[in-house]
């Protein structure tokens, strides 16, 4: 379906719903990506950003009802492209990141792959 559009791409998944994170992991790996880590909390996400090298990220808009502003800011500061994957609309995204791609849950797996590929340029 999506081929290997993300061959060689190292991706961080930031998602607090384990089942959704696992589906994202499987779909991204099927597209050729390597998942460097999955974070379900703000603290875990920030620690992985500090510790791991990766090319792109998929970021839920809220983790345990907390906005992900600090995570989005850290990714932007490191010039790491990312896409939001959320059940919330754009009004719930951090204002300074509303220009980033937003995929609404439930999303088509191919759409996530294509959005990441586009974000990578």
pLDDT band at 3 (very low <50, low <70, confident <90, very high): low
Q: Are 116 and 101 in contact (CB under 8 A)?
A: no
**Both structure tokens of 42:** 């703000």
Listed residue (91, 59, 62, 92) closest to 74, CA to CA: 59
Rounded CA-CA distance 79/90 in Å is 21
pLDDT of 2 higher than 60: no
- pTM of the full structure: 0.93
Question: What average pLDDT does the segment 91-118 reach?
Answer: 92
Percent of the chain with pLDDT over 70: 98
- The pLDDT, as a whole number, for residue 7 is 94
- The pLDDT, as a whole number, for residue 1 is 45
CATH 1.10.340.70 fits 10-107, yes or no: no
Cα–Cα distances (Å) from 105 to 16, 20, 41, 111, in that order, read: 13, 9, 18, 11
Question: What average pLDDT does the segment 5-21 reach?
Answer: 95
């Amino acid at each position: 379906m999506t081929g290997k559009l993300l061959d060689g791409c190292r991706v961080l998944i930031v998602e607090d719903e384990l089942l959704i994170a696992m589906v994202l992991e499987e779909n991204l790996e099927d597209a050729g990506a390597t998942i460097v880590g999955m974070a379900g909390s703000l603290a875990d996400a920030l620690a992985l950003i500090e510790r791991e090298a990766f090319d792109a990220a998929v970021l839920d808009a809220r983790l345990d009802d907390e906005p992900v502003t600090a995570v989005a800011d850290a990714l932007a500061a490191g010039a790491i492209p990312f896409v939001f994957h959320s059940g919330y609309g754009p009004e719930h995204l951090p204002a300074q990141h509303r220009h980033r791609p937003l995929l609404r849950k439930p999303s088509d797996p191919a759409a996530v792959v294509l959005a990441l590929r586009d974000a990578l340029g």
